[in-house]
């Protein structure tokens, strides 16, 4: 029998604020859990381990509570708090079924500071007192404020004799590192139990240079939360009563019914289909069965949570409109069925997804006329580029701010006027401690400067990255990088100092926008993400089947032999991304895939690449591991630009006159 107390911890409290029903599913082996809350890769990519170690250096001389059991941690903390003055790392506090570990606790007599360290950016100029335009607590910071408020609540119950001050320790974007190589002073080692951060010898508060973390006092915001109310399913309760109810429900393993809504779409306990016997249960399915009386058969049809980019899902659910077929055209837009001269709108895509009908019929919609008009403006050879980047909280070099962009990889395909395709160039620099930005742009400039052909990207990322790097170059090394800034000007669209758009004569064409305007396939569920569009194209395009299936396409810088990207399994064309081997051989495939979904973290598409770069920077890897990860990165990025080529090949084929 398990006698371990079922405490309501910080992580469980956070989960309950998302949805109190999740408390029932949390930690149970019988339920699917897609969460990345405890993921080593996610925390490494976001910089959480390094920021935590850096924060401790700003409060030197502390005692770490590293005991194994809750009871040992609590006793160790109690003994330390008997001192008049003490700093404690990971102090353990418990009361009334609540348990917290405080990142940094500073006691000076009767005064205690509770400091919660977050790998989250902050700017005094932009974020100020962490409130929105109408005075409400800013949504971006609310989870962190609720976290420290929960700690303050538990501390007050456990040790009511003290006076408390609350702080969030954040990465300050207004501050710049004043020493080189700070990024590499924090190495990460995985252990059987947890993760250890090795701080470079001799690094202390005196040698850190100017602090890049700032402690933001949040007493006012915490008081507002503690004196306010919390939603608890369909009810609302004062903070203390809500916390007590959550603790009791968790202790008793009791289900709290919540009101289903749009947030259910991102539930970490949601399976994409009804689980088969023997598979982990889906908490999402159980919640909707409870709330709406659904059977397994009801989940077979698409529901309103699948409706792409629709902002009124909560209203539909509240009105009892649960299945996609129940959505009417009036729910979306009266003109949702009509395609205008500028191509598809968001409403068009939503209605096509709901109705399964679009102009011309057929298995999918393609605006051949509109696409062809755009394609006639292109200049050959066509260039396709994709970037992989990271935003590390601790800068590589002096003068840099937390979370400035680090561009470490690109891939570059070229399509000639005769249809010939080549994977011409690529770049990857993951050398530990070296900022690759200048080398990255120099290599890109060299790759694109042989001709004046049209350059393509997918979505805004590449334009955003280059615009940021331009500003960085002009701020730090204007004379040495003037040529790079001028090059960036030619291929980007950006706002000038006067607020007017500055469009380079060779500004990159966004293929994602072309997909949004001219192509809809029901398999994409309305999305224009490249990783959704590519599989749909592979299932629909004869020319892609001919080029990448029956023939061997061999223009690759990373594959020793030709790869058949068009493959079938039991009559279904496979997603080319599923043909790639995983980036990591020591991390579960499910966790790697979840990184790009972003469940439980701030990561989105490209999360696996960010995690790979972080591992190459901060882990002590063998040469074999390092080479394997770098090879995997090159292959993934190559497929990203090849996928863009495939999209254009399919669209050009469909738009060309047929005999």
State the pLDDT confidence band at 496, using cuts at 50, 70 and 90: confident
Using alpha carbons, select from 49, 396, 393, 56 the residue that is nearest to residue 189: 49
Instruction: Give strand pairing partners of 101.
Output: 92
And the tokens for 44?
């490494």
Assess whether 313 and 222 both reside in one domain: no
Query: Cβ distance 388 to 630 under 8 Å?
Result: no
Is 255 part of a structural domain of the chain? no
Q: What's the first-to-final CA gap in the chain, in angstroms?
A: 76
Residues 6+ apart with CB under 8 A from 177: 209, 210, 212, 394, 395, 397, 398, 399, 400, 401
Give dist(CA 325, CA 337) in Å, integer.
15
**What band does 585 get if pLDDT is binned at 50, 70 and 90?**
confident
**Is residue 591 domain-resident?**
yes
Share of the chain above pLDDT 70, in %: 94
pLDDT of residue 605: 56
Residue 642: what are its φ and ψ, rounded to 5°? -65, -35
Residue 1 has pLDDT above 50, yes or no: no
Same domain, yes or no, for 217 and 284? no
**pLDDT tens digits, 8-24:** 999 999 999 999 999 99
Residue 401 covered by a domain: no
Q: Name the domain count of the chain.
A: 3
Is 617 among the domain residues?
A: yes
Report the pLDDT value the prediction gives residue 235, as an integer from 0 to 100.
87
Q: Do 614 and 631 share a domain, yes or no? A: yes
Q: What is the dihedral of CA 414, 420, 421, 424, to 10 degrees?
A: -60
User: How sure is the predictor about 608, in pLDDT bands with cuts at 50, 70 and 90?
Assistant: confident
Residues 406, 427: contact at Cβ < 8 Å? Answer: no
DSSP string, 396-442: SSTTPPTT-EEEEEEEEEEE-TTS-EEEEEEEE---TT---HHHHHH
**CA dist., res. 507 & res. 172, Å (int):** 33
Averaged pLDDT for residues 204-214? 91
In angstroms, the CA 189 to CA 191 distance is: 6
User: Is the distance from CB of 401 to CB of 170 less than 8 angstroms?
Assistant: no
**Whether pLDDT at 603 is above 50:** no
Average pLDDT estimate for 23-37: 86
- Are residues 348 and 379 both part of a single domain? no
**Residue 362, token pair as written in the block:** 């057929």
Note the pLDDT of residue 108.
Answer: 97
What is the bridge-based pairing of β-strands 163-172 and 111-122? parallel
Nearest in space to 115 (alpha carbons), one of 128, 124, 102:
102
The DSSP code for 508 is: P
- Are residues 637 and 552 both part of a single domain? yes
- In the predicted model, what is the mean pLDDT of residues 562-570? 87
Q: Given a cut of 50, is residue 601 above it in pLDDT? A: no
User: Two tokens at 616?
Assistant: 């190459």
CB-based burial label for 656 (10 Å; 0-12, 13-18, 19+): exposed
Q: CA nearest 583: which of 529, 532, 627, 620?
A: 627
Shared domain for 636 and 517, answered yes or no, is yes
| Same domain (yes/no): 330, 280 | yes
Q: Report DSSP state, residue 362.
A: S
Question: Is pLDDT above 90 for 581?
Answer: no
Categorize the per-residue pLDDT at 544 as very low, low, confident or very high, splitting at 50, 70 and 90. Answer: very high
Q: How many C-beta neighbours within 10 Å does residue 259 have? A: 17
Q: Is 18 inside any structural domain?
A: no
Could you give the percent of the chain with pLDDT greater than 90?
Answer: 75
* Mean pLDDT (the chain, rounded): 91
103 with 180, same domain: the answer is yes
The three-state (H, E, C) secondary structure of 250-274, written as one string: HHCCCCCCCCCCHHHHHCCCCCCCC
Q: If residue 23 lies in a helix (H) or strand (E), which one and from where to where?
A: helix 22-25
Could you say which DSSP state residue 197 is in? E
Is 659's pLDDT higher than 70? no
Which among 479, 474, 519 has a CA at the least distance from the CA of 497? 474
Task: For residue range 446-479, list pLDDT tens digits in order.
Answer: 999 999 999 999 999 999 999 999 999 999 999 9
Would residue 483 count as lying in a domain?
no
**Could you tell me if residue 141 is inside a domain?**
yes
Q: Do 76 and 164 share a domain, yes or no?
A: yes
pLDDT of residue 233: 80
Q: Which of 91-100, 124-133, 202-211, 599-608 has the lowest mean pLDDT?
A: 599-608
Q: How many CB atoms lie within 10 A of CB 56?
A: 22
Q: Is the pTM of this model over 0.85?
A: yes
In a shared domain, residues 47 and 87:
yes
Backbone angles phi, psi at 394, to 5 degrees: -105, 115
Q: Is the dihedral of CA 635, 639, 640, 645 positive or negative?
A: positive
The predicted pLDDT at position 5 comes to 80
234 within a domain of the structure (yes/no): no
Same-domain status, 149 and 289: no
Quick count: other Cβ atoms within 10 Å of Cβ 191? 7
In the predicted structure, residue 388 carries a pLDDT above the cut 60: yes
Per-residue pLDDT, averaged over 551-569, amounts to 80
Query: Does residue 94 register a pLDDT over 50?
Result: yes
The predicted pLDDT at position 392 comes to 86
Domain range for 55:
39-227
**Is beta strand 85-95 parallel, antiparallel or unpaired with respect to 213-217?**
unpaired
pLDDT for the residue numbered 590 = 64
Specify the pairing of strand 382-391 against strand 455-457.
parallel
Q: How confident is the model at residue 175 (pLDDT cuts 50, 70, 90)?
A: very high
Q: Work out whether the CA dihedral 321, 324, 326, 327 comes out positive or negative.
A: positive
What is the rounded CA–CA span in Å between residue 494 and residue 479? 21
SS3 550: helix
> Given this model, what pLDDT does residue 183 score?
86
* Mean pLDDT value across residues 390-413: 92
The Cα 42–Cα 46 span in angstroms is: 6
- Least trusted range by pLDDT, from 52-66, 488-502, 517-531, 644-658: 488-502
Instruction: Specify whether 196 is located in the same domain as 142.
Output: yes
In Å, how far from its chain's centre is CA 236? 31
Q: Give the pLDDT confidence of 347-383 residue by residue, as tens digits.
A: 999 999 999 999 999 999 999 999 999 999 999 999 9
């Amino acid at each position: 029998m398990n006698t371990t107390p079922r405490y309501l911890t910080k992580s469980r409290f956070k989960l309950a604020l998302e949805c109190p029903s999740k408390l029932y599913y949390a930690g149970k082996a019988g339920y699917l859990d897609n969460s990345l809350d405890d993921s080593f890769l996610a925390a490494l990519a976001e910089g959480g381990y390094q920021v935590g170690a850096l924060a401790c250096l700003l409060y030197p001389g502390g005692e770490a509570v590293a005991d194994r059991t809750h009871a040992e941690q609590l006793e160790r903390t109690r003994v330390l708090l008997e001192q008049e003055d003490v700093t404690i790392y990971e102090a353990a506090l418990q009361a009334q079924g609540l348990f917290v570990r405080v990142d940094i606790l500073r006691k000076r007599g009767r005064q205690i500071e509770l400091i919660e360290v977050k790998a989250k950016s902050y700017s005094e100029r932009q974020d100020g007192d962490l409130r929105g335009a109408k005075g409400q607590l800013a949504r971006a910071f609310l989870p962190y404020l609720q976290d420290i408020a929960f700690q303050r609540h538990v501390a007050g119950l456990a040790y009511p004799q003290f006076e408390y001050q609350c702080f969030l320790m954040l990465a300050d974007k207004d501050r710049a590192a004043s020493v080189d190589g700070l990024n590499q002073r924090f190495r990460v080692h995985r252990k059987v139990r947890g993760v250890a951060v090795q701080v470079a010898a001799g690094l202390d508060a005196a040698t850190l240079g100017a602090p890049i973390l700032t402690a933001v006092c949040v007493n006012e915001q915490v008081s507002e939360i503690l004196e306010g109310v919390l939603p608890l399913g369909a009810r609302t309760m004062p903070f203390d009563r809500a916390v007590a109810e959550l603790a009791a429900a968790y202790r008793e393993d009791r289900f709290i019914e919540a009101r289903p809504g749009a947030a259910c779409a991102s539930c970490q306990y949601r399976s994409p289909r009804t689980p088969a016997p023997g598979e982990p249960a889906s908490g999402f399915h159980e919640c909707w069965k409870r709330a709406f009386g659904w059977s397994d058969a009801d989940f077979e049809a698409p529901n309103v949570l699948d409706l792409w980019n629709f902002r009124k899902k909560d209203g539909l659910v509240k009105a009892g409109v649960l299945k996609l077929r129940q959505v009417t055209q009036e729910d979306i837009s009266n003109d949702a069925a009509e395609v205008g001269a500028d191509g598809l709108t968001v409403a068009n895509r939503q209605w096509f997804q709901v109705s399964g009908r679009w102009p011309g019929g057929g298995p999918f919609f393609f605006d051949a006329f509109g696409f062809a008009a755009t394609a006639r403006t292109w200049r050959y050879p066509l260039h396709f580029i994709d970037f992989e980047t990271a935003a590390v909280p601790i800068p590589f070099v002096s003068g840099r701010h937390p979370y400035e962009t680090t561009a470490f990889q690109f891939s570059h395909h070229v399509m000639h006027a005769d249809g010939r395709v080549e994977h011409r160039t690529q770049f990857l620099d993951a050398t530990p401690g070296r900022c690759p930005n200048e080398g990255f742009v120099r290599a890109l400039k060299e790759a694109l400067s042989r001709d004046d052909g049209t350059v393509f990207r997918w979505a805004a990322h590449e334009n955003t990255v280059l615009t940021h790097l331009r500003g960085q170059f002009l701020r730090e090394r204007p004379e040495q990088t003037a040529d790079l800034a001028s090059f960036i000007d030619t291929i980007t669209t950006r706002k000038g100092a006067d607020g007017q758009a500055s469009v380079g004569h060779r500004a990159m064409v966004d293929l994602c926008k072309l997909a949004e305007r001219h192509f809809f396939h029901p398999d994409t569920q309305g999305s224009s993400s490249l990783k959704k569009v590519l599989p749909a194209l592979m299932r629909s395009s004869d020319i892609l089947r001919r080029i990448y299936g029956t023939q061997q396409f061999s223009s690759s810088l990373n594959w020793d032999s030709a790869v058949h990207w068009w493959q079938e399994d039991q009559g279904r064309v496979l997603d080319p991304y599923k043909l790639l081997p995983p980036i990591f051989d020591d991390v579960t495939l499910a966790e790697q895939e979840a990184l790009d979904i972003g469940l439980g973290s701030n990561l989105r598409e490209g999360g696996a690449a960010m995690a790979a770069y972080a591992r190459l920077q901060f882990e002590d890897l063998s040469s074999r591991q390092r080479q394997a990860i770098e090879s995997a990165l090159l292959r993934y990025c190559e497929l990203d630009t090849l996928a863009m080529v495939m999209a254009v090949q399919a669209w050009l084929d469909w738009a060309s006159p047929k005999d």
